[in-house]
Amino acid sequence: MRANAERQRLGIGVLVSAGGELRLDDERSSSAAFARSAEPIRFWGFLRRALEELGNSLVFRADPSDPAPRIALEGFFDALYRRRALVGDSAEDAFTIHPSLPAPGAVAYEIALRLSYPLDRMRLAFVNSDGQWTVVPRVEVPVA
């Protein structure tokens, strides 16, 4: 009953159940820039949720010299490449991960993906600021 009420209220999204709570993750909110077709929007929603979950497992890994976050990201995107969600002659061609230090006390990884969807490339940042890992889209729309 609550699931139907949530769907009617927001429309497009994915029902997420975590910790006994049911909520509708509205995929329109952070994916408007990818709105050329539904596949990139759904993929962005999946990426955001999966990377936020990965960030929760890395909550105590905010040291710029700690290799664990990069290793976890490489493993995650390598799995997406093997499942053909990313395209390229190799995993290194399908995604790139570059560390950056956007501010004192913050750690970020700039990530570029070659998707198997009608969007040439997607860029995002995986950022830890004050102990909280977040995912930020970096929009790159192909020229028509």
Model pLDDT, residue 13: 54
Model pLDDT, residue 81: 95
Token pair, residue 88, equals 């390229």
Residue of 62, 116, 123 lying closest to 96 (CA atoms):
123
Residue 23, pLDDT > 70, answer: no
User: Would you place residue 37 in the very low, low, confident or very high pLDDT band (cuts 50, 70, 90)?
Assistant: low
User: Would you place residue 73 in the very low, low, confident or very high pLDDT band (cuts 50, 70, 90)?
Assistant: very high
Residue 22, φ and ψ in degrees, nearest 5: -110, 125
User: Would you place residue 7 in the very low, low, confident or very high pLDDT band (cuts 50, 70, 90)?
Assistant: very low
**How far is Cα 124 from Cα 40, in angstroms, rounded to an integer?**
13
